[in-house]
Amino acid sequence: MVPIHHYLLLGAALFTIGVVGVLTRRNIMVILMSIELMMNAVNINLIAFSGRLGHVAGQVFAIFVITVAAAEAAVGLGIVIAMFKNKETMNINEIDLMKW
């Protein structure tokens, strides 16, 4: 049986990779993909505890996380398309209308 902290370490590694992606990339599509990576890291933790504790609640919460990820992707990509119609760019450094 794999010790549970290996699952948690994998989740931590995936989450950190997602954070680095959000901080370093300029392309808004890759930033959205990095957010999906972070949500997957959370799901791994939830399901690891669900399996080890023998309780199904973790899997139910993972379903809710997937729901939120789907909603976030739909709205986020809608915003990307609306923004691309206006500014013709996917580079977040050029989208600075609200920057002080």
Partner 1 sequence: MSVEQVLFYIFAALAVMSAVAVITLRNVVHSAVALAATLLSVAGIFLTLHAEFLAGVQVIVYVGGILVLFIFVIMLISIERSIIERQFNRQWLVALITAILLIGELGFVLWRGTDSLVLAEPAAAAPSVLGVSGNSQLVGEALYGQYLLPFEIASILLLVAIVGSVALSKKKTQAE
Site for partner 1 in 36-75 (CB under 8 A): 36-37, 40, 43-44, 47-57, 59-60, 62-64, 66-75
Helix (H) or strand (E) holding 78: helix 57-87
Asked if 81 touches partner 1 (CB under 8 A), the answer is yes
Which CB atom, from 81 or from 97, has the smaller least distance to partner 1?
Answer: 81
Tokens 């990576």 label which residue?
37
Q: For residues 81 and 98, which CB has a smaller minimum distance to partner 1 in the complex?
A: 81
* CA distances from residue 79 to 33, 42, 51 in whole angstroms, order as listed: 15, 25, 37
